Structure 1
Amino acid sequence: MSIDDPMRQPLMRVRQGKVIGGVCGGIAKWLGWDPTLVRLGYVVLSVLSVGFPGVIIYILLWILMPLEPA
């Protein structure tokens, strides 16, 4: 892994550009992906799993993921 590898950074919720809790934005930043694609993928997976598990996982991540420093 290189020094600038985003996977070496801790997984944190984002402050800027968040839609609800910053979870999908934080995952996208951590993976180096487009936040819109992560949000869209999360919605699709949640709908395909009948929504309930996706909502529970999002709430758990919202609680467990630290917020990035200001």
Structure 2
Amino acid sequence: MKTKSNRKLTKSNNRVFAGVLGGIAEYLQWNANVLRVLFVLLTIASHGAGILVYLLLMTIIPSKPENTGFFEQMRHASSQANSPQQPQGRKSIHNVREEDEPRHQD
């Protein structure tokens, strides 16, 4: 039974470090914590080769468009700082009564 799905492998917001294992778990519809434990066990068994694989996947797997990780937030903040500010328009104050201060006679 083949099913068409529009799932894409992307980094997840369910992240501990970069969202790679969370994204793989979402794609495979697994529990992310189970995948993380398996990854740690396989990394220990392979004498650290899993770290290289993780770094490679971290550079290859794209982020979600709505992903709000640290670097995405910094990029968004810097692009907003460089854009010109829109005029806010005229502000008006309502229900204000103005009174003069009493004059002191010396």
* Range into which the TM-score falls when normalised by the shorter chain: 0.7 to 0.9
CA separation in 1, counterparts of 2:25 and 2:8?
12
CA separation in 1, counterparts of 2:9 and 2:16?
17
**Moved segments of 4+, more than 6 Å:** none
CA deviation after TM superposition for structure 1 residue 23, in Å:
0.4
Question: Which structure has the larger Rg over C-alpha atoms?
Answer: 2
Matching residue of 1:64: 60
Aligned counterpart for 1:42 among listed residues 23, 39, 44: 39
Structure 1, unpaired ranges of 5+: none
User: What TM-score, normalized by structure 1, do the two folds share?
Assistant: 0.85
Indicate the structure whose relative CO is greater, using CA pairs within 8 Å and at least 6 residues apart.
Answer: 1
Paired-residue identity, %? 32
Aligned length: 65
Q: Could you report, residue by residue, the CA deviation over 1:2-43 in whole angstroms, capped at 9, with x for unpaired residues? A: 34x5xx5111111x2200000000000000000000100000
User: What TM-score, normalized by structure 2, do the two folds share?
Assistant: 0.58
